[in-house]
Amino acid sequence: MHNSGPILSIQNVTKRFRNNAGDWFHAVNDVSLSVAQGEIVALVGESGSGKSTLGRIALGLIRPDSGSVCLDGRDLAGLSPAELRAARRRMQPVFQDPTASLNPRKTIRALLAQASHPDAIELEAYAIGLLESVGLTPGSEYLARFPHELSGGQRQRVAVARALAMQPALILADEALSGADVSIRGQILNLLLDIRQKRNVAYLMITHDISVARAFADRVAVMMRGRIVEHGPAGEVLTNPTHDYTRSLLAAVPEL
């Protein structure tokens, strides 16, 4: 676990699906991508580019047709069901809409207890610690509340706290900030930076938000029709792109 190799390494992964007409198409086509410890990698592209499928393959939720997904250097395909469960704990997703992903009938206490690492003891204190690490202080005041009693920004923070409950090495954020107001977006990005600094968590961020990818990520991969067409340091790729598709993507974004 403490090697210097990548946490996540996706190699030559391909996944095909059948469309409504029964024809096969490549959702992900021979894609390789890695994420190092504490690194922020953004995956950008339009809907249908395959970025969310790739995210699900990374989480071990979809099995690729070919290629390999390695976590801490171990191929997910070779793991026993118990090992795969343990591996999945190391990678936690945060989704777009916290209102939809947090069970409205459960208190924050219950939501965090349910998501906690099996080794966590004294769950109440553990939950309070998690809440405070996402800026909800004092944490004890939030335990008995339900998601609908929180503001949008606070719900997003709870969603991040829940992802942290498993002590992951990697957080996969699939359009996690897409519905958020820009003010909330800034708050959550700062929170993610803070968590990275304290816990050395890596992020794989799937997003269509070019300005966030450019300012937040270390590296970026641009996906188009199942392939990565451009890949490199985020500032460079999203400022001076070399691929036509990246150029057209940038040209379409109204910059401030």
Partner 1 sequence: MTSPQAKPLVEISDLHLSYTMQRATIQASRGASLTIAPGEAVGLVGESGSGKSTLARALLGLNDPKSTRIDSGSIFVDGTDVTRFGERDWRVLRGSSLSMVFQDPLSFLNPVMRIDRQIVEAIPKSMRAEGVSERVDDLLRLVKLPQAARRSYPHELSGGMRQRVLLAMALASKPKLLVADEPTTALDVTTQAEIMDLLGELRQRLGMAMLLISHDLGLVSKACERIYVMYAGRTVEWGPGSSILKTPAHPYTKGLFDSARALRLPNGLFATIGGDVPNLAHKIEGCPFRMRCPLAMPKCTTMSPATQVLGQDGHWVRCWAAQDSGIAPAQGNDVKNA
User: DSSP letters of the chain?
Assistant: ---SS-SEEEEEEEEEEE-TTS-EEEEEEEEEEEE-TT-EEEEE--TTSSHHHHHHHHTTSS--SEEEEEETTEEGGG--HHHHHHHHHTEEEE-S-HHHHS-TTS-HHHHHHHHS-TT--SHHHHHHHHHHHTT-SSGGGTTT--GGGS-HHHHHHHHHHHHHTT--SEEEEESTTTTS-HHHHHHHHHHHHHHHHHH--EEEEEES-HHHHHHH-SEEEEEETTEEEEEEEHHHHTTS--SHHHHHHHHHS---
Q: How many residues bind partner 1 (CB under 8 A)?
A: 38
Of 41, 112, 136, 204, the one binding partner 1 (CB under 8 A) is 136
User: Among residue numbers 161 through 200, which ones bind partner 1 (CB under 8 A)?
Assistant: 181-187, 189-191, 193-194
Contact between 235 and partner 1 per CB under 8 A: no
Say whether residue 20 binds partner 1 (CB under 8 A): no
Q: How far is the CB of 209 from partner 1 (least distance, A)?
A: 8
Contact region with partner 1 (CB under 8 A), list: 35-43, 64-72, 163-171, 204-212? 204-212
The nearest distance, CB 52 to partner 1, in angstroms, is 13
Which of 56, 196, 199, 208 touches partner 1 (CB under 8 A)?
Answer: 208
Per CB under 8 A, which of residues 24..53 are in contact with partner 1? Answer: 46-47
Q: Which residues bind partner 1 (CB under 8 A)?
A: 46-47, 135-137, 151-154, 157, 181-187, 189-191, 193-194, 208-212, 214-216, 248-249, 251-256
